[in-house]
Amino acid sequence: MLSCGFSLIFGLMKIPNLTHGSFFMLGAYVSVQLVNSTGLNFFASAIICSLFIGLIGSLFERTIIRKLSGNHQAQVLVTLGLSFVISDLCLMTWGGEAISVPTPSAIRGMTKFWMLDFPTYRIFIVLVGILTATFFYLVIEKSKFGAKIRAGVDDPDMTRAMGIPIHKLFTLTFGIGTGLAALAGIIGSPILSIYTGLDMDMLPLALVVVILGGAGSLKGSILGSLIIAILFNFGQAYLPEFAYFILFLPMVIILALKPNGLYGKFSI
C-alpha cells in the first residue's frame, strides 16, 4: 500500500516523495490520537485520518511543490525538508516513547487456516492490501480517471496538449498517494507500533520497492513489495545484523541488470 502510493506519485510526477514515510507515521499518530480522544471506532478513524492526511498532502503539493514546477531536484529536496518538519512535530506532540496500538477488538485472536493458526489481524491486513491493490488496479487500468493518469505517466506534454489539466491531476494524485501512505501507517500500527524514526524506517523500503519493481507500474510495486517484505523479514529473523543489508543485494542486482526495474515504464 505504501509503495503503491509512492509509485503513483513517482510515476506521474517523476518525484520520489521523500515525505512519504513521514505521512505513513503521521497517519498512525493522528489516528491513535483520534481514537483515544473521541473513542471513535478504529476503522472509521482510519478512513477519516487518511482523507485528512491526503488533504494535507494535496495542500503541500498545491502550494510548495507546484512553485518549483520543472525543477525535479528542488522538489525532491523540499519533500525531504518537509519530512524533517513532520518528524520533529510528531516528536514534539507525542513524545519519544513508542506508542503501541491495540488491535481493533473486532479482529483480535487467531483464525485457523489450513491447519495453521494465523493472527486474525494479519489476515485482515493482507486482505486490505489485496483489496487496495485490486481497487487501484481497476481504477488505473479501467477508469477514465485512470486513463488520464496513465496518459500523464506516458507522455505529460501530450496529455497537457490534449487539454487535460495536468496540474490538477498532480495535486489529486499527490493527495491520493499521501492518503494511501497514511492508511498504510494506520493499518500497520497495531503490528509495528508508532515510534520516532518510523518514517525513516519505512521510506527506504518504499524507495527500494520502486527501484526493484520499476517506476510507474502498479504490478511492479506489488511484486516489489512482496519480495522486499519476504527478504526483510527473513533477514531480520536469521541475520539480524544484516537485515538492512539484505535490501541492498536485490536492489543492486536489479540496477545492474535491469535499470527499469522488473516492470518499470521508464528507467529512474
Partner 1 sequence: MKENKNFISIVLVLGMLAAAPLFISNDYYLNILTQVLFFAIYTFGVNIMVDMGGLITLGSASIFGFSAYAVAIFSNLGYGSFFSISASLLLSIIFNSVFTAVSLRSIGVGFMMITLALGQIFWGLAYRWVSLTNGDNGINLSERPNLLDFSLNSASHFYFLTLALFALTVININLFKQSSLGKSLVGTKVQSRRMYALGYDVWKIRFFSCLYAGLFTSVGGILFFYFNQFISPHALSISASTEALLMIISGGSSTLFGPLVGSALIIAIKLIVSTFIDRWNLLLGLIFIFIVILMPNGILPFIQQKFSRNR
Q: Which residue of 187, 208, 222, 223 would you call a contact of partner 1, by CB under 8 A?
A: 208
Strand partners of residue 110: 119
Provide, rounded to whole angstroms, the least separation between the CB of residue 184 and partner 1: 18
Residues 164-203 that bind partner 1 (CB under 8 A): 200, 203
CA trace torsion 232, 238, 243, 245 (10° rounding): -110
| Residue 252 engages partner 1 in binding (rule: CB under 8 A) | yes
Does 210 interact with partner 1 (rule: CB under 8 A)? yes
To the nearest whole angstrom, how small is the minimum distance from the Cβ of residue 18 to partner 1? 7
Asked if 183 and 46 count as a contact pair (C-beta separation under 8 A), the reply is: yes
Tell whether the torsion through CA atoms of 223, 228, 231 and 234 is positive or negative: negative
Q: Check the CA dihedral 130-137-63-49 and report its sign.
A: negative
In the complex, the smallest distance separating the C-beta of residue 261 from partner 1, rounded to whole angstroms, is 11
The verdict on 78 binding partner 1 (CB under 8 A) reads: yes
8 A C-beta contact, residue 4 and residue 208: no
Selected binder of partner 1 within 44, 55, 89, 230 (CB under 8 A) = 89
Angle, nearest 10°, between helix axes 2-13 and 20-38?
130
| Contact present, 252 and 194 (Cβ < 8 Å) | no
Beta carbon of residue 25, minimum distance to partner 1 (angstroms, whole number): 13
The verdict on 251 binding partner 1 (CB under 8 A) reads yes
Q: Is 227 in the site for partner 1 (CB under 8 A)?
A: no
Does residue number 98 form part of the binding site for partner 1 (CB under 8 A)? no
Go through 58-80 and write b for each residue having 16 or more CB atoms within 10 A of its CB, e for each that does not.
Answer: bebbbeebeeeeeeeeebbebbe
Is residue 238 part of the contact set for partner 1 (CB under 8 A)? no
Please identify, using beta-carbon distances, which residue of 48 and 201 lies nearer to partner 1. 201
* 2 in contact with partner 1 (CB under 8 A): no
Question: What does the angle CA 104 – CA 109 – CA 113 come to, to the nearest 5 degrees?
Answer: 120
Q: Is 153 in the site for partner 1 (CB under 8 A)?
A: no
53-72 residues in contact with partner 1 (CB under 8 A) are 64, 67-68, 72
What is the spatial distance between Cα 1 and Cα 182, in angstroms, rounded to a whole number? Answer: 10
Q: Torsion over CA of 244, 250, 255 and 261, rounded to 10 degrees? A: -110
Nearer to partner 1, 126 or 252 (CB): 252
Residue 248 binds partner 1 (CB under 8 A): yes
Identity of the residue, 18 or 28, whose beta carbon is nearer to partner 1 in the bound complex = 18
Residue 118 phi, psi dihedral angles, 5° rounding: -120, 140
Task: Provide the residue type at 194 as one letter.
Answer: I
Give min distance, CB of 112 to partner 1, in A: 35
The nearer residue to partner 1, 157 or 241, going by C-beta atoms, is 241
Contacts to partner 1 by CB under 8 A: 14-16, 18, 64, 67-68, 72-74, 76-78, 80-89, 91-92, 200, 203-204, 207-208, 210-211, 240-245, 247-248, 251-252, 255-256, 259, 267-268
